[in-house]
Amino acid sequence: MAPWRRAAGLCFFALLWRDTDAALRDAAARAAAAGPRRETVDSARAGLNASGVADNDVAPLSSMRPPWAADVLAKHNEYRCMHGAPPLTWNDDLEAHAKQWAVIGHGQRSPPWELKDVGPFRLVGESVATKITDQGGAASPAGAVQAWYHQIEQTDGHRGEVDHYTFEFAQYTQVVWKSSTSLGCAWLHDFFVCQYGPAGNIPGEFASQVMELKKAQQHCQHAR
């Protein structure tokens, strides 16, 4: 190649590199001045209403949650209504923590140190069940909640009023514990785990937290 052609090529490359570098530096400066990029979503295309809630999301649960979660939450709140306790809401931190234990728990309850500092809760409660079925014999997480609540039959007069901890009905007392506000559960194979925040079954608080039966079940269907 002729020397003058080689020199011209090198000169052209140097000019191209200089211009490209300047353009990149200018683009970086503009991006920094504009601040963080914000992604926008067309609510109508995303299927959201004016409040940012999916129009077809009739249950107070995320579409990412398991299909049985609504029934489990509703069954808890039905029983709590019968005892004058406020309804629970689903909590994603509790659900995630329950999932972790469902994988490694082998059908057993969590040790105390596993129930500390979960999401916003300093201490959480827990109920577990294995080989869960409903009254018809089908596998059903809501059937486990029914079994926990039916421990009320072990209480004096079957009315559910309790003033102390007893293992035989500890899951019933957690289900209706008045100051628990949040619930998250997981189901893996035949192992079902529910965790509650704040924890129930606190010594010395049973008389104020576990109320006797106040309403018939049919009067609390709205709590579902």
Q: pLDDT averaged over consecutive 10-residue blocks of the chain (224 residues)? A: 41 36 42 38 32 36 79 98 98 98 95 97 97 75 95 92 92 98 95 98 97 94 68
> What's residue 62's pLDDT?
52
> What's residue 132's pLDDT?
77
Supply the Cα-derived Rg of the chain in whole angstroms: 29
> What's residue 224's pLDDT?
58
Q: Are 101 and 186 in contact (CB under 8 A)?
A: yes
> What's residue 127's pLDDT?
97
CA of 71: how far to CAs of 12, 15, 43, 127, 128, in Å?
A: 71, 69, 29, 16, 17
pTM for the full model?
Answer: 0.70
State the architecture of 69-223 in CATH terms.
3-Layer(aba) Sandwich (3.40)
Q: Which residues make Cβ contacts (< 8 Å) with residue 44, sequence separation at least 6?
A: none
DSSP 10-75: HHHHHHHHHHHHHHHHHHHHHHHHH-S------HHHHTB-TTS-BTT--SSS-TTS-TTHHHHHHH
Question: Domain locations in the chain?
Answer: 69-223
